Amino acid sequence: MNMIISLGLSLKGNLFICPLKFQKCIFQKILVELLGGILKLNRMVPFLKKILIFFLLIFIFTFFIWSYFQQKFLTEIYEKQQSTVFTDRKGEIVFILPNERGYINQQIQKIPPRVKELLIKKEDKYFYYHFGFNPFSICQEIISKFGFGNRKGSSTITQQLAKILLNKEKEKSTKNKILELFSAISLEIFKSKDEILKMYINSVYFGNQVQGIKEASRLYFGVSPELLNDGQILQLLATISSPSEINPLKPENITVAQNLAQRLKLDLSNLFFIEADQVKENVKNYFKQQDLLFEIKPFLPSLKSNQLTIDKKLTQKLREIVKRNIEELKFKHAKNAALIVIKIPENEILALIGSPDPTSFENGYQVNMLKKPRPIGSTIKPFIYLKAFEKGLRPYTLVEDREYKYITALGFPLYPKNFDWKYRGEVSLHYALSNSLNVPAVKVLEYVGLENFYQFLEKDLEFKPIQDLNNYQLGIALGALEMNLMDLAKYFTIFPNQGILKSLKISFNQEQKEKIITKPEYVQLVNKILSDRKTAIDQFGLKSDLNLFQENYALKTGTSRNFKDSWIVGYTPDFLVGVWVGNVENEPMEEISGQLGAGKIWSEAMELLFNSNYNKRTPFDFSCVKEFYYKNNIEFGLKNDDFEKSLTALKDNSLILNPHDGDKFLLKETTHIILRAKNRVNWFVNDEFIGSGKEQFFSPKKEGCYKIKAKSIFRQEIVTICVIG
């Protein structure tokens, strides 16, 4: 440097003589200026060093801060990948919700040693020696792009993890590669190698909507990662490069896994691979474990806890019962069914089945029939009788089961009929409800009052009908009211819960509302009737699926018009089971009643529960019920009853039973009108005597209105009928 300075001074002193005629040549000027600049630079070197060091420190500090927040950002993404897991009341996994990317992901905390070993050998053999990137691999990839070599990828495990977390797997650009590189370095700075490896194995996609080795192991092989053999591990590792095309469901997967084994120098003779057909069965069983999501999905927004009140194993057994019975009922055109089990007195849902097979796309199985309103048939009758008992009627109250005429709001006549089209004369309400007679139910609803019953449904039970209740009127007693199975089952819980209505619980820590609907003594009267299987023999027979080996249970069946819906709700003081059978398309079945359709499923479900821990054999409380003796029979009422008053509260004083006032008949040669009275009477038509007795035939000869009079010793009654051509 001193020589250069001396030379510069000599030049500046014109010691160097230019051979040209110019006093100074251009070269001399340039050289002088250059050497002068070097001289000045030499004086500035310490200052430049400080500037460079300062900016270098700023860069390092900035990159460190950026790396901290970047790895924190990536860690948050990683943690959000974890799917929400819902367990049943016993802690078993019921279903797993997909994460934000639509993948099912459960993360493991410790990688099985063999999985770890083979993963590193395949993906990144220098994983423990580099700092997030492999410069030699990067150089080889760059060189291969110019036609030298055939290296296709240079990403380390850390870079692959960054790419997954940044969701940039399909976006290959220089900008993304730089971001992935710096993100990988940020992870290396703040995470240990084992943490990075764990994050990677929990984040890698294995196809068919599963992310991470835990769910991949369960999906394809039905085992946890700890139980994977070398062949299965290789099949999963072979999937990583092309999860949609080379996953274990594809026959090519085994070929790729075998090639991988050779590359890793493993002995093929010691490896056991799972064929695609077996994998398909495993996948089918895996998604079958997710069946309950079908029924519980509507409740997800309101769930307060990830632990559900559901019993998974019980639900699986019940679904098999439903599926098997529906297969048997298909020949009678019944294709769909739903079932609910509620634990009493907590009103915790133990089982929900809205479809025999939610994985099937046949027969409307993708429709959840738990929430679809359908006409509930005779299952409404216990509620009608409950209100009647509040108003003074009793199980021993007598009612005439005969033909009655009612005029609907539209002006049309209504003649209620029983299920079997027979009338039984004078019967008790106990007998009428036990045998589900329609005509007495209409008389009881008439006694309760429509407005009173409407208020009970909408105000007390807080039921929301799908149409104005005035559209149903007395048709409610004939089963026309629509309701879904879950609501019906919830309302039925007032009977085993002593008149208290509680909201249904499907998860623990869920807020539950309670409401007193009626007094326990009236509930006990209903329970006494519905638990009496002997009185129900006339309608249901001695041998019936409804007759179970344990006695402390009550039930009510229902069948809608034209056999479109088959219902049953039965309960003990420990649990309640409700079942619906029918068709999604609302098509009629072939004479499948509540007993024959839903009843078969219900009886099997009840027997399953009778043999479970949920059966505490708690007896019904009949402490308020009193026995009364009437005509050599034992009847039931309440203490302090006015027996005679309640006995005849529905007494019908009509003398003429048929025809009804205002009836119209079509005139034909074969028209014969039956005149029927309660007692022996004299019959008159237009004041002309035609005969005596309880029954008499009248054959009109011409059109017109006729005055029919029945006259006994004590009274007489007149009705008017019309005969039209």
SS3 track for 282-320 = HHHHHHHCCCHHHHHHHHHHHCCCCEECCCHHHHHHHHH
Residue partners of 607: CB distance under 8 A and separation at least 6 = 548, 549
Query: Quick one: 656-724 is in which CATH superfamily?
Result: Immunoglobulins (2.60.40.10)
Rounded Cα distance between 683 and 680, Å, is 10
Instruction: Count other C-beta atoms under 10 Å from residue 715's C-beta.
Output: 11
Q: How much is the pTM?
A: 0.81
Contact between residue 502 and residue 513 where contact means Cβ atoms under 8 Å apart: yes
Q: What angle do CA 20, 23, 29 make, to 5 degrees?
A: 95
What is the DSSP track for 500-519? EEE--BSBTT----EEE-S-
Picking from 490, 488, 463, 458, the residue whose alpha carbon sits closest to that of residue 565 is 488
The one-letter amino acid code at 503 reads S
Contact between residue 211 and residue 93 where contact means Cβ atoms under 8 Å apart: no
Please give the pLDDT value at position 219. Answer: 95
- Parallel, antiparallel, or unpaired: how do β-strands 104-105 and 210-211 relate? parallel
Picking from 582, 615, 607, the residue whose alpha carbon sits closest to that of residue 597 is 582
Picking from 635, 573, 638, the residue whose alpha carbon sits closest to that of residue 390 is 638
Picking from 450, 458, 423, 426, the residue whose alpha carbon sits closest to that of residue 438 is 423
pLDDT digits (tens, 9 = 90+) for 649-699: 998 888 888 898 888 888 888 888 999 888 899 999 999 999 999 999 999
The domains of the chain are located at 2-66, 319-645, 656-724
Please give the pLDDT value at position 378. Answer: 95
Please give the pLDDT value at position 37. Answer: 62
CATH class of segment(s) 319-645: alpha beta
Helix (H) or strand (E) segment spanning residue 26: helix 26-80
Distance of CA 589 to the CA centre of its chain: 26
Report, as ranges of residue numbers, the positions in the chain whose pLDDT lies below 50: 1-24, 27
Alpha-carbon torsion angle 175, 180, 181, 184, nearest 10: 160
Report how far apart the first and last C-alpha atoms of the chain are (Å, whole number). 138
Please give the pLDDT value at position 134. Answer: 73
